[in-house]
A and B are shown apart, each in its own frame.
Chain A
């Protein structure tokens, strides 16, 4: 009779040990996944194999984070002095909602989605839920998570704790952290679902409008609508609990969405052929080189990274508005020397940015050009042609700046000539120093694939070269003499185009084995 309970107990026990073993195995699995993740970032090409670049980037990241900390420490002083506020807490809580609107924006543009990693894990015998928890958790380990704590913790210590007590400070802080972190999960879901769709852009614009509507037009005061929530958090733990719950709910939202869409076809979309037959007609007059310039144009509009570069170039056309309207750069006679830099930047922005990674754009199909007769020569010339055409377009698009004075039109014309005659060759020649392969289907934001130390140092001659010619004449004679000198040097460079371009072509031909094998990732 005593057998049955014993049997049940035995079954129960084995089940427990079995479950225990399973969790043990899975926790080992997670450690293994973390180890793989570390290896991946150390060995990845986007980490830019060069140690110098890595050090530079780490330095940059530290610098930015320390700026945040400093800003956090002086936040109270800034609010009290800068905004002449007697109640720093009330002012900050009143504008907090704008911080979150802003956070939504930068998260939308910067935050990366973890799905790209999925492909490598999906076929392994690991529970799908574990993979998802891991990938989502991994995405949380990011500088973006730190921004809110770094900014607001010092403020809570300096201002809230003395005035309202440390309990209130904690409660207020966590209320903010949970809001910021909820945005993280919300963004994972939002971006995966709506990126590259009209709804996504619509929502972002709507949020911008909500913010602008409140500040500029004063229809309503968004800040004071949301402020009571933060005030309440000083007195009661309830808001923290609610925000904590929202944090969990948004995580759950992201988790279930990713879990139910964890199929390759759902997450990595095949791109439809959207841009068929969009040749740029002008190129066809230039023979083989023109044909390859056309190809390059197709490459640009059909890849994510290059499309972003193109959009940035359009965006930077507005760069002049910052300088030309700024009273700091107004002078009684002539114009600011700074404008030469601005002009060369505006008329050559696409060339400067795209040209940095000159051959890396073609790293996936470099052998194609190598194997064709005069293929390399045509490839390089095609790129020259493309740069000339895009720079012409930039020059034309910048003509309306003449509104700020005819001088500016003159500066743009002269810097354009100088760009075409000198800078273009300089960019191309420098970029041929150890070109690296890159995957141009990835986005451009914070993607340092293909970027080597040469790309960082390149900016120095780019800024310096115009001034080497311009400044001596500008200071000794007058500014227009400086511009004349720039223009003349530019025209000479343009006339010498066949010789100068041959230098670059020969350099590619000389290094063709090294370049092609590094592009095939054999080194």
Chain B
């Protein structure tokens, strides 16, 4: 589904990302781990065509992301607050997205129904702008928005950060569910090794912009990662 070829990102002399090749098949749950500054967010941003690659390219189902735009309606993402319209209330925001994705009102209702547990009655129907929500609730809005409009792939940057333990579990359940039911491909970066190893089929370890480990075997994942991170 997503293919990375000879990708490089350079700021003047400093190489921040250097990925020879990477292929993410459909309906895989792809985990991305690495220390701070390893290039996880940069990789996601290039995949979404928010940052220009210095060399190489990313293709989604054969389309170069920097040359075409059609893939955008099939890929959802939440990286940071820049992707939200923080001056709207959550309800208005979802309504706006509904119009952009051309969904029916019933579709939207159905979609939000899935998030009922995660939202925990703190998001919808409140007279509060998104910019005034707590960090955890902000993240919940972003994730629900990223999964809207039946995307084939969803990119999430640190989705578990700032969530309370029960919300973390609910989110894991949600991700596994939509992977099971709708064959959604997930790309998830996280520092929480327990959560990624639990839900991801494959984990790639980045160090200084390079892929140094590509782990597929579920039983060996946590041991290898624990030795690398020294925990």
Report how many A-B pairs have Cβ atoms within 8 Å: 69
Q: Which residues of A contact B129 (CB under 8 A)?
A: 271, 273, 302
Q: Given A364-B86, A513-B52, are A270 and B132 also a contact pair (CB < 8 Å)?
A: yes
Q: Which residues of A in the span 269-283 have a Cβ within 8 Å of any Cβ on B?
A: 270-273, 276
Residue of A295, A364, A371 with highest tally of chain B CB at under 10 A? A371
Residue of A273, A298, A370, A372 touching B100 (CB-CB under 8 A): A372
Please tell me if the beta carbons of B83 and A272 are within 8 angstroms of each other in the complex. Answer: no
A144-152, A223-231, A515-523: which lies at the interface: A515-523
Q: Which residues of B contact A35 (CB under 8 A)?
A: none
Please tell me if the beta carbons of A367 and B83 are within 8 angstroms of each other in the complex. Answer: yes
B27-35, B72-80, B195-203: which lies at the interface: B72-80
Nearest residue in B to A291 (C-beta to C-beta)?
B99
Q: Give complex CA distance A375, B149 in Å.
A: 15
Q: Which residues of B contact A302 (CB under 8 A)?
A: 87, 129
Please tell me if the beta carbons of B52 and A366 are within 8 angstroms of each other in the complex. Answer: no
User: Is residue B13 within 8 Å, beta carbon to beta carbon, of the partner chain?
Assistant: no
A279 to chain B minimum Cβ distance, whole angstroms, is 10
Q: Given A271-B129, A276-B89, A291-B96, are A520 and B52 also a contact pair (CB < 8 Å)?
A: no
Size range of the chain B interface in the assembly: 20 to 34
Q: Given A273-B129, A276-B89, A298-B87, are A366 and B82 also a contact pair (CB < 8 Å)?
A: yes
User: Is residue A288 within 8 Å, beta carbon to beta carbon, of the partner chain?
Assistant: yes
Q: Give complex CA distance A322, B88 in Å.
A: 39
B56 to chain A minimum Cβ distance, whole angstroms, is 15
Q: Give complex CA distance A364, B84 in Å.
A: 9
User: Is residue A374 within 8 Å, beta carbon to beta carbon, of the partner chain?
Assistant: yes
Q: Give complex CA distance A517, B16 in Å.
A: 15
Q: Given A288-B100, A291-B99, A298-B88, are A368 and B83 also a contact pair (CB < 8 Å)?
A: yes
User: Is residue A299 within 8 Å, beta carbon to beta carbon, of the partner chain?
Assistant: yes
Q: Give complex CA distance A270, B129 in Å.
A: 10
User: Is residue A303 within 8 Å, beta carbon to beta carbon, of the partner chain?
Assistant: yes
B176 to chain A minimum Cβ distance, whole angstroms, is 25
User: Is residue B15 within 8 Å, beta carbon to beta carbon, of the partner chain?
Assistant: no
Please tell me if the beta carbons of A367 and B85 are within 8 angstroms of each other in the complex. Answer: no
Please tell me if the beta carbons of B100 and A371 are within 8 angstroms of each other in the complex. Answer: no
Please tell me if the beta carbons of A373 and B69 are within 8 angstroms of each other in the complex. Answer: yes
Q: Which residues of A contact B48 (CB under 8 A)?
A: 370-371
User: Is residue B49 within 8 Å, beta carbon to beta carbon, of the partner chain?
Assistant: yes
Please tell me if the beta carbons of B100 and A291 are within 8 angstroms of each other in the complex. Answer: yes
Fill in one digit per residue for B43-76: 1 if any A CB lies within 8 Å of its CB, else 0: 0000011111000000000000000011011000
Residue of B81, B83, B85, B87 with highest tally of chain A CB at under 10 A? B87
Q: Given A373-B70, A373-B73, are A368 and B99 also a contact pair (CB < 8 Å)?
A: no
Q: Given A276-B89, A371-B72, A373-B70, are A519 and B100 also a contact pair (CB < 8 Å)?
A: no
User: Is residue B127 within 8 Å, beta carbon to beta carbon, of the partner chain?
Assistant: yes
User: Is residue A365 within 8 Å, beta carbon to beta carbon, of the partner chain?
Assistant: yes
Residue of A365, A373, A516 touching B86 (CB-CB under 8 A): A365
User: Is residue B128 within 8 Å, beta carbon to beta carbon, of the partner chain?
Assistant: yes
Q: Which residues of B contact A298 (CB under 8 A)?
A: 87-88, 92
Residue of B80, B85, B86 with highest tally of chain A CB at under 10 A? B85
Please tell me if the beta carbons of A288 and B99 are within 8 angstroms of each other in the complex. Answer: yes
Q: Which residues of A contact B72 (CB under 8 A)?
A: 371-373, 375
A-B contact pairs, 17 of them (CB 8 A): A273-B89, A273-B127, A273-B128, A288-B100, A291-B99, A302-B87, A302-B129, A364-B82, A365-B84, A366-B82, A367-B50, A367-B79, A367-B83, A373-B69, A373-B72, A375-B72, A516-B51
